[in-house]
Amino acid sequence: AIENNFTTPKLHKKILITAGGTKEAIDPVRYIGNRSSGKMGFAMAKVARDLGAEVTLITTVATDIPGIKIIQVQTAAEMMTQLQQLFPTTDVLIMAAAVADFKPLNVADQKIKKTDDEDTLTIKLTKNPDILKTVAATKTTQFVVGFAAETQNLLMNAEKKLNSKHADVILANNVAEAGAGFNVDTNQITLLQKNQQPETWPLMSKTEVAKKFWEFYLDKI
């Protein structure tokens, strides 16, 4: 055996992670998206891989990460289809994706044209399914982790998500704060679990958040 300084891998689990913002088509060339970079989910995936886990990453962001199975999707509907297939045989689900809450009700077959006589355009949206809530409702032994992106009343809103989404843990972040949440390399997390006091973690890199999360998980099992 080759001697090294790394910790012995010890996360012998099947992990499913979603990352990035969904893209909901308006017409053949346009979509509704959001500012999610996928970085939080990618960090979770890489740290889990380094700890010895079998990781599948369902993501809207084109990427190739050694040692991780990548499934690329665009829309919430595609993400949900993949998750429903893979969730039954997974040990842990981490729902880090920023799923669009709404999508265009109708997708135009052709590129939408502007005209000289209309100064506004109305696109009617319809609700996407809540993927986490739907998938986690079928859980048996899976450990389910959701995120909560909030700009106000963080604890109250995140607590509601913990209960309504059948999650074991919610990682809440104030996305209005500098350095936390969308499209940055750092995050500031409050971890919520049922019947336990919330744990507030300091601002740190997303890789450090991922390390801290997997340490927390390994302590629990």
CA distance 216 to 110: 49
Residue of 161, 173, 174, 188 interacting with ligand CTP (CB under 6 A): 161
Q: Is 215 in the site for Ca ion (CB under 5 A)?
A: no
Q: Is 101 in the site for Ca ion (CB under 5 A)?
A: yes
- Minimum distance from residue 118 beta carbon to Ca ion (Å): 30
Answer yes or no: is 147 a known binding residue.
yes
Q: What is the dihedral of CA 206, 209, 213, 214, to 10 degrees?
A: 60
Closer to ligand CTP by CB, 52 or 157: give it: 157
CB 57 within 8 A of CB 65: yes
Residue 34 known to be catalytic:
yes
Binding to ligand CTP (CB under 6 A) within 74-103 occurs at: 76, 95, 97, 99, 101
51 Cβ contact partners less than 8 Å away, ≥ 6 residues apart: 7, 9, 10, 11, 214, 218
Element (H, E) at 91: none
- Minimum distance from residue 210 beta carbon to ligand CTP (Å): 15
Q: Binding residues for ligand CTP, per CB under 6 A?
A: 76, 95, 97, 99, 101, 128, 130-132, 146-149, 161, 165
